[in-house]
Structure 1
Amino acid sequence: MGVFAYKGRNGRGDLVEGTLDGDDSSAIADQLMHTGITPIEIRPFRGVTGATASKQDWLKKLFTEKPITQMDLMLFSRQMYTLLKAGVPILRALAGLQESTQNPTFAAMIQDLRESLDSGRELSAAMRRHPKVFSPFYISMVQVGEMTGMLDETFIRLYDHLEFERETRERVKAAMRYPTFVVVAMAIAIVVINLFVIPAFAKVYAGFHAELPMLTRFLIGFSNFMVQYWMLMLAMLVGAVLGFRYYINTPDGRYNWDRYKLKLPIAGKIIFKSTLSRFARSMALSFKSGMPILQGLNVVGMVVDNEFMRSRIEQMRDGVERGESILRTAVATGVFNPVVLQMIAVGEETGDMDGLMFEIAAMYEREVDYEVKTLSSQIEPILIVALGILVLILALGVFLPMWDLGKAALHR
């Protein structure tokens, strides 16, 4: 498999240039002929390859290339809707967006989209060449928009979908900022106290030659262990983190972790409701765009970003494929509450499934918004109690010996 540069003429006689991957020039010629391009010249691409190319690409990405963010994709979706709605041809719209974007990496990606369209590909097929930018759901929605002639409406719906996901993530990050700061500060305080403070008190107590309280002996023993084996503990911590990341990257590990996340105290219900909201909104968009239900369930399973929920959605798809109703398959999953199941039943009966799924998404969005707003107030009491227990243990462990020695001196 190699990279070949080609020149050819499309059906209008325009000159088309680009690069394609293939085994040889004959395979490239076949690809071009299938897309309606008559090849004029095909030659091996003389770009830098191998380890040198990898190194240069890595250095280029590190120092010059800006990453493509979700905000770039949102602006792209919104601008494409505006341009297509105004009747601007898609190639001219992409050319205008390429010139106006401030991100060179995104401009290069748009250039590749234009070249793919020039070579006869559809927009959805061109987007598949950039899986790190366009999700399977995004591509499937664009494909349905191309088939139904509603590409402009598809882009505005995708913009709304991306905006909702961005706002949800930002709210969760804002709510978790204070608790994360407190937990990190407590961890640093524990390390400093055990490595520096308690050893200093231990030297003082050793000079008294008196029996120390059990709590003090425990603190000194734990402090000595940290002082002697801090490198081992750090290595074990790093190993545990790396082992956990390796485990959750396996199919079974990802499934088990995603299922456990939904049951976490406080945060679990937010993750669960946010996942269901994303599922309902994605399904509503697929129904609204005219996507077949089986294809819609396939792509929605990729959007939820949770292997446990994905398995339940695949279970729904298999049930629908066997001829069962959406309501029956939703009941069998065991993840929807009775209100949602009732709305699905009404949607199936009335044929307004997209409208009812939007209502379900809105309901879960309101619940997620409330949970996120009250997240700090739910976590703060737990942090205060934990901090109070920590301070109490340290205070009693450090000052009880002084108290006992003071009483002994008074009795003398």
Structure 2
Amino acid sequence: MPNFYFEASDTQGIVHKGEHQAPSKDVVAQYLRDRKLIPLVIKSTEKKNRLSFLQIGIGSKVSRVQIIFLIRDLSISLKSGLSILETLDILASDTKNPTLKKILVDAKNNLSKGQDLSDTLEQYSKYFPQIYIGMIRAGEASGNLGETLSDAAVHLKKDYELTKRIKAAMVYPMILVIASVAVIGLLLIFVLPNLIETFERGNIELPAVTKVLIKVSALLSYSYAADFVVFIIFLYLITYFRKTKIGQTIYAKLSNVMPMVKELMRKIAIVKFTRAMGYLLTSGMGITKSLEFAADSVGRDEYKKIVHQSLESIKKGNALSDTLDQYPSQFPKLLTGIIRVGETTGSLENVFKLSSEFYEEEVDSSLKTLLSYLEPVLLLIMGLVVGGVAFAVLIPIYQLVSGFS
């Protein structure tokens, strides 16, 4: 989604500066008007970011780890007795990342003008998801910002570690796929072209699969530079399509076809939902507002719809557990039963945190089980594919040798 830089004036004439992700300038303008700000300047940062590479440098990129350390350092400083202005001043002077430095300086300046920290961070939603901004806003309202920032840092860290574990688990299967593609590529680009002339001189009838491979080989061998460009474009299109709404929908449907993958994705969504709810409620946020932010953190459309439906049901006076109980395929009876106990005892935030820990262990277990099945299946499939290509090359060679004898 495009990123826009804006300058806007409030009713007192104070100019606020920041960045906001939105589909268009009109959406940014409406975002500012909703906050009783008058838009003065709204411009895309895309071109600016590309042209200012030499000015800003590679260090301008803000990673998830840097955000975790920033929020953690804010929490530690506030808990140690420093004021929020002193904390921001120290962190801004210490950070080497130009983008983080700009965010901290803007936050300090806006705080001096009476604006909350959460309002400034919301202007940089590209780096700070709404769930964390919501937690910080709740911490500001309750006067317990240091503890809330600590919870936000823990939440961010656990989400990051979960994502990292899932990616790490997929490294070996990806190596298998890449190695198989590389072997097939070497056979088609370097081995088969050297055998084509021999096959033609031998005057033998080539199998249909070998003829197809020869045509593919000729196409790949035509220009290595073109092969590289096409490969890069293909990777880009795959990555881009994965981020689109249609791509995410297709990916979700494909994952639902495979039972073990479906179960893993279900548990991951439950972990994200319960963890978000636990920390949001602990920060002092109400149940309805917590559900609004938690819905966006789940990451799967079907769960977002259910959470939004639960939100509407709660507004009508129904219990959260009763609504979730209507969707046993997404929220198991065990979870809804535990939530019902939390609603009865008034310890809902603790119930959500405990549930997230339980289902996080379940994710690890499901991931190991999936990989234990996936690895031999991938080995078998890749072996058949590579073996099939090799066999298609070896058949004509065998025919030639038989003809000589």
**AA in 1 matched with 2:297:** V
Matched, 1:346 2:345: no
Candidates 375, 379, 386, aligned match of 1:380: 375
1:367 aligns with 2:328: no
The answer for the alignment partner of 2:271 in structure 1 is 277
Q: Which has the larger radius of gyration?
A: 1
2:173 equivalent to 1:179: yes
CA distance in 2, matches of 1:405, 1:272: 55
Give the direction of change, closer, same or farther, for the CA distance of 1:68–1:355 in structure 2 (3 Å limit): same
> What 5-or-longer segments of structure 2 have no aligned partner?
19-32
Number of positions where the alignment pairs a residue of Structure 1 with one of Structure 2: 379
Mapped partners of 2:77, 2:58: distance in 1: 30
| Cα deviation 1:83-128 (Å, max 9, x = unaligned) | 2222322112222222232323212211110111110112212221
**1:114 and 2:111 equivalent?**
no
With 77-86 and 214-223 compared, the bigger mean Cα shift is at 214-223
Deviates more, 1:399-408 or 1:126-135: 399-408
Q: Structure 1 residues 122 and 240 mapped into 2: Cα distance closer, same or farther (>3 Å)?
A: closer
Q: Is the contact made by 2:184 and 2:389 (CA closer than 8 Å) also made in structure 1?
A: no
> Can you give the 5+ residue segments of structure 1 that lack an aligned partner in the other structure?
10-16, 22-30, 36-43
Distance 1:169 1:122, change over 3 A: same
Distance 1:5 1:284 in 2: 37
Q: 1:50/1:215 Cα in 2 relative to 1: closer, same or farther (>3 Å)?
A: closer
State the shift of 1:307 in Å.
2.7
Contact 2:89–2:108 (CA<8 Å) still a contact in 1? yes
What is the DSSP-based 3-state SS (H/G/I as helix, E as strand, rest coil) of the residue aligned with 1:212? coil
Q: State which of 178, 181, 202 in structure 1 corresponds to 2:196.
A: 202
Deviation, 1:385, is 0.8
Aligned-residue offset at 1:329 = 1.3
When residues 56 and 274 of structure 1 are mapped into structure 2, their CA distance, relative to the original with a 3 A threshold, is closer
By how many angstroms is 1:236 displaced? 10
Check the 8 A contact 1:262/1:272 in 2, yes or no. no
User: Structure 1 residues 110, 4: CA separation in 2 closer, same or farther (over 3 Å shift)?
Assistant: same
What does residue 163 of structure 2 align with?
169
Q: Give the 3 Å change call, closer, same or farther, for CA 386–137 of structure 1 in structure 2.
A: same
> Which one-letter code corresponds to 1:87 in the other structure?
G
1:388 partner amino acid: G
Change (3 A) 1:351 1:89: same
CA distance in 2, matches of 1:246, 1:217: 33
- Taking the TM superposition and a 5 Å limit, the aligned residue runs for 1:9-88 are 54=48, 58-59=52-53, 63=57, 65-88=59-82
8 Å CA contact 1:261, 1:268 repeated in 2: yes
Percent identical pairs in the alignment equals 24
Q: CA RMSD in A?
A: 3.8
Between 64-73 and 200-209, the greater mean CA deviation after superposition: 64-73
Q: CA deviation at 1:18?
A: 6.3
For 1:399, the equivalent position in structure 2 comes to 394
Counterpart position of 2:326: 332
* CA distance, structure 2, for counterparts of residue 370 and residue 193 of structure 1: 39
> Is the Cα contact below 8 Å between 1:84 and 1:93 reproduced in 2?
yes
- Once residues 265 and 61 of structure 1 are traced to their aligned partners in structure 2, the CA distance between those partners, rounded to angstroms, is 50
Q: How high is the TM-score relative to the length of structure 1? A: 0.78
| 1:208-223 matched pairs, under 5 angstroms | 208-223=202-217
CA contact (8 A) 1:263 1:269 kept: no
Q: Deviations over 1:26-59 (max 9, x none)?
A: xxxxx9xx99xxxxxxxx99xxx999x9379633
**Offset of residue 150 of structure 1:** 1.8
Match of 1:13 in 2: none
- Return 335-344 or 383-392, whichever deviates more: 383-392
